[in-house]
Structure 1
């Protein structure tokens, strides 16, 4: 199994031992970029926080501490498309 296949169905930021989706939680799929296929837990996040998200990643263009930028796909709150990468926040 390659790394991309391994990450599919896993929740961004979850512990490796318990990385699957949990019942009663709401998730959006990350599409494209370094976090492609991961699920983002959007439960209890305010609507205005879900237009765009900057997620810390070790595997993006800027390496450890860099951020992968994702934006909601139109009115579809279940998918976030990759917009690019950004360096670590100061």
Structure 2
């Protein structure tokens, strides 16, 4: 199990992999503009689109801003419906 977690950690730190799987360019640009979310006070902050995409937000690096994760999820699920989970 620990080798799988270590392998995942190595993949996540690869910019090419994040871009391919998650289309992370806007978030990487926001992190370089606003700084990384690594402080203890940032534990529930994320970079997200200021206006969620289901509400008509623009999918560009300029619309990515810092947000609280729980509030962002609550707003997005109100606009787009519940998040589907496998299983």
TM interval, short-chain normalised: under 0.3
- Between structure 1 and structure 2, the one with the greater Rg is 2
Identify, as 1 or 2, the structure richer in strand: 1
Identify, as 1 or 2, the structure richer in helix: 2
